Amino acid sequence: GSLRESVTTRVAPKAKSAARILPEASYKVAVLGAAGGIGQPLGLLIKMSPLVSELRLYDIANVKGVAADLSHCNTPSQVMDFTGPAELASCLKGVDVVVIPAGVPRKPGMTRDDLFNINAGIVKSLIEAVADNCPEAFIHIISNPVNSTVPIAAEILKQKGVYNPKKLFGVSTLDVVRANTFVAQKKGLKLIDVDVPVVGGHAGITILPLLSKTRPSVTFTDEETEQLTKRIQNAGTEVVEAKAGAGSATLSMAYAAARFVESSLRALAGDPDVYECTYVQSELTELPFFASRVKLGKNGVESIISSDLEGITEYEASALEALKPELKASIEKGIEFAHKQQ
Ligand code: NAI
């Protein structure tokens, strides 16, 4: 009982005297692909959120056990399981946030684009169900290639007449998480303080960390910039190779996705100070989709932060120009897929 007592005495008085009342657990979150490598730890992290009232887990198989397991954690949210397309609609009705990590991951030697043929169809069918059942929800797309799956989702939502560009997000949080970690390690900084904006897209050279915009302000030699940029761009492949055929990043991805969910829920709850990098419809460049820092609010993207792209270094400016053709091609590939399926 001593642990319990100390937790109670430490937490309870503080909560009572807190100037700002924390929002209640009142949000419903669905995870599609919840039995997978990302889905399981992501479910666990969302189960720990004090803001969630219902955690709805959907997969085509094996989700009952995951839900039974998670449901024993004594945190506020109720866990519900949904298996197969026949149960998808009831999974989605009334949810505030839908997170989609459904699809196949990379194996060594594969690019994210190699996943297109399988994952494009999976994302399409899931987004159709989202459009029919919870068109108002924030939609977080994790399934790769994100550079193409987000444009696919946008087109499907348009076809259904429910596209809201402010509520469709490609999850690029892991690129920021990695950049923060690697920069803090390299420069001996306290991790908690480091924030590196990462713009562009989510694959190879389209991942552009703006190291010159790191907060707190740090300086890098040209060699450090080159080495850190490459490492951040190839970090996913580092994990794919270490896992040697058993998949790609799942645990760090779940961590990053849970951060993005929590940020979205805080925004929904009215927190006026929520910023995340994410891949969204954007007018920051001539490309229709682009990852950058955005301000999140109750209605989704409140504004896209343009200042990060102002006054960037020559290295960053040329990397930005270099990534555009690849990102443009991935966007067009997604749009074309969605049109062909009509
Ligand atoms: P996994 O294979 O372990 O899990 C995928 C899950 O999706 C499985 O449980 C599978 O049954 C389920 N699934 C397949 N088709 C489905 C459908 N039609 N409806 C619902 N569920 C379905 O794969 P993992 O490692 O969890 O990766 C999932 C995706 O996330 C991959 O596409 C991967 O490339 C991507 N990813 C994205 C990252 C990012 O930064 N955005 C980082 C890491 C991975």
Ligand 1 atom nearest the C-alpha of 112 is: 34
pLDDT-derived band of residue 8, with 50, 70 and 90 as boundaries?
A: very low
The pLDDT-based confidence of 104 (bands split at 50, 70, 90) is very high
The pLDDT of residue 2 = 40
112 CA to centre of ligand 1 in angstroms: 12
Residue 308 in tokens = 């990060």
Residue 17 confidence (pLDDT) = 42
Q: Hey, is 339 helix, strand or coil?
A: helix
**Which atom belonging to ligand 1 lies closest to the Cα atom of 170?**
41
- CA–centroid distance, 111 to ligand 1, in Å, is 15
Query: What confidence tens digit (pLDDT) does each residue in 176-224 have?
Result: 999 999 999 999 999 988 999 999 999 999 999 999 999 999 999 999 9
Task: Identify whether 216 is preceded by a cis peptide bond (ω within 30 of 0).
Answer: yes
Taking only the tens place, the pLDDT of each residue in 113-168 is: 999 999 999 999 999 999 999 999 999 999 999 999 999 999 999 999 999 999 99
Residue 53 phi/psi, 5-degree rounding, is -100, -35
Q: How confident is the model at residue 341 (pLDDT cuts 50, 70, 90)?
A: confident
Q: What angle do CA 255, 128, 56 make, to 5 degrees?
A: 40
Contacts of 332 (CB under 8 A, 6+ apart): none
- Token code pair at residue 22: 């924390």
Please compute, for residue 171, the number of CA atoms within 13 A of its CA located in the half-sphere on the CB side.
Answer: 28
Distances in Å between the Cα of 288 and the Cα atoms of 9, 201, 259, 331 are 52, 12, 25, 8
How far does the centroid of ligand 1 lie from the alpha carbon of residue 39, in Å? 7
3-state class (DSSP) for residue 64:
helix
Report whether pLDDT(233) > 50.
Answer: yes
Q: Is the CB of 63 under 6 A from ligand 1?
A: no
pLDDT at 19: 45
pLDDT (tens digit per residue) in 67-86: 999 999 999 999 999 999 99
- Sequence-separated (6 or more) residues with CB below 8 Å from residue 135: 157, 160, 162, 164
* Ligand 1 binding pocket includes 207 (Cβ within 6 Å): no
pLDDT of 307 strictly over 60: yes
- Residue 65's SS3 state is helix
> How is residue 163 written in tokens?
């596209």
Q: Is 276 helix (H, G, I), strand (E, B) or coil?
A: strand
Catalytic (active site) residue 339: no
Q: Phi-psi bin for 307: left (phi > 0), alpha (psi -120 to 50), beta?
A: alpha
Residue 324: CB atoms within 10 Å: 16
